[in-house]
């Protein structure tokens, strides 16, 4: 299959959280949802994952309606099940037991076989001073690149 150009990322995740461990999961989607994702009509900026009764779900992920659909429309912000193996679900369950831990989506992509996949990460929220250090390091790197260029 040809390489898909799906580019749906959560750029704020690396700024807001310390990422510990990442997983790649499949998603249970309907026909109109996958077509909208292939058209880059989705957003994971406000999304987060939950663990419930041995399953991992993604909440608040926005998938826009497919414009060529007839009468069947999906819920734009409905919960969607993530497909992980038992070991990964066990790790996520242990991670979620501690207070302050969360699971954030990082990126949606289409695999070589044509399946929609999502990268999720176990994360801890950053404090304000951590964010300031990241911004300072980013500015320093930009200044060094400018100096080397000129």
Residue 119 CB contacts under 8 Å (≥ 6 apart), including other chains: 22, 23, 24, 25, 105, 106, 107, 108, 109
pTM of the entire structure?
0.77
Give 125-150 pLDDT, tens digit per residue: 888 777 888 888 889 999 999 999 88
Q: What is the largest CA-CA distance in the chain?
A: 59
Whole-number pLDDT of residue 69: 67
Residue 1 confidence class, pLDDT cut points 50, 70, 90: very low
Give 91-138 pLDDT, tens digit per residue: 888 888 888 888 999 999 988 888 889 999 998 888 877 788 888 888
Domains annotated for the chain, with CATH where assigned, are 8-149 (2.40.280.10)
In this predicted structure, the answer to whether residue 66 has a pLDDT above a threshold of 90 is no
């Amino acid at each position: 299959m040809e390489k898909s150009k799906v580019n749906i990322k959560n750029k704020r995740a690396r700024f807001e959280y310390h990422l510990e461990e990442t997983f790649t999961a499949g998603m249970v989607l309907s026909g109109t949802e996958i077509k909208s994702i292939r058209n880059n009509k989705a957003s994971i900026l406000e999304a987060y994952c939950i663990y419930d009764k041995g399953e991992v779900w993604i909440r608040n992920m926005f998938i826009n309606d497919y414009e060529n659909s007839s009468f069947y429309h999906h819920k734009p912000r409905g919960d969607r099940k993530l497909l992980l193996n038992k070991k990964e679900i066990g790790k996520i369950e242990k991670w979620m037991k501690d207070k302050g831990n969360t699971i954030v989506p990082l990126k949606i992509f289409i695999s070589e076989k044509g399946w929609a996949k999502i990268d999720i990460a176990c994360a801890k929220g950053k404090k304000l001073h951590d964010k300031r250090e990241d911004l300072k390091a980013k500015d320093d790197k930009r200044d060094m690149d400018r100096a080397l260029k000129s």
